[in-house]
Amino acid sequence: MKGIILAGGTGTRLLPLTAVTSKQLLPVYDRPMIFYPLNTLIKAGIKDILVIVAPDHSGHFLNLLGSMFEKLGVHISFMVQKQPRGLAEAFILAEDFIDGDETTLVLGDNIFEDDFTEAIRTFAGGGRIFAKEVTDPERFGVVEFGSDHQVLSIEEKPTHPKSSFAIPGIYIFDALVVEAAKGLTASARGELEITDLHKYYLGKQALDVRMIEGAWFDTGTPDSLLAASVFAKEHNFSERFHAMVNEAIVAFNGEYKKMVSLKK
């Protein structure tokens, strides 16, 4: 299983904060946002992770993450996405990285309370996505269920949602996802939609949808970023991070302080 974190985009809804650095490097309480999806993947045992970044602040990611996890057996590589053309494009860009393996993609601005370790480790082909009941489903991909929890339809940001179940930004796919993404046609807004990949697997009767019970934050606005930070503080989120992630952060802090002292 490979891991991909999509950390590109312009983050215009968070200006002027994102004029300084990437949205995914902004703080969520006591650590940069990027560590939350990293924790999701590392906790599940994924040791080969690709971070897809926008060109303007790509060096910031390298300065922070660089070789931070190498000594702990986790390899992080980077790819620059010059222009975002939809979430599904991530699989086309990462074709060589995926190299025929299964993949878990996490959006870099999505923060989850749930632990996805079991869902990732038990994945056995096809596609696996998740659903969370929300009050504003029109902002997201929406999944409609039948009475027996069978998936009836999937829509992207519908004006009149058929359900209140949004599809959060974590997706697990088998190796067929690359060719499926290549076969997509851009939507009316000029993007390769991740929901079209979901429909592809649904059409093959190979799509599994699981419910998310805990909190979920899509931190693309100042209010949601603040809410995520408050939640992380009040629920001691960092204490529940995988020991490897916290160890890497402690080591980085020590090395950084040493470097600063040598410059004085």
- Which CATH number goes with the domain that contains 19? 3.90.550.10
Residue 105 near residue 185, CB atoms below 8 Å: no
DSSP code string of 179-241: HHHHT----TTS---HHHHHHHHHHTT-EEEEE--S-EEE--SHHHHHHHHHHHHHTTGGGGS
- Cα separation, 180 vs 178, in Å, equals 5
Mean pLDDT of 84-98: 94
The whole domain housing 119 covers: 2-125+169-184+213-263
Residues 203-229 have pLDDT tens digits of: 999 999 999 999 999 998 999 999 999
pLDDT of residue 83: 86
Q: How many domains does the chain have?
A: 1
Within-domain flag for 151:
no
Within-domain flag for 240:
yes
Within-domain flag for 17:
yes
Within-domain flag for 145:
no
Residues 147-186 have pLDDT tens digits of: 888 899 999 999 999 999 999 999 999 999 999 999 999 9
Q: What angle do CA 223, 242, 238 make, to 5 degrees?
A: 35
Within-domain flag for 256:
yes
Residue 74 near residue 2, CB atoms below 8 Å: no
Within-domain flag for 159:
no
pLDDT of residue 261: 76
User: Would you place residue 264 in the very low, low, confident or very high pLDDT band (cuts 50, 70, 90)?
Assistant: low
pLDDT of residue 147: 83
Within-domain flag for 72:
yes
CA distances from 206 to 23, 155, 237, 248 (A): 33, 17, 34, 37
Within-domain flag for 248:
yes
Residue 251 has pLDDT above 90, yes or no: no
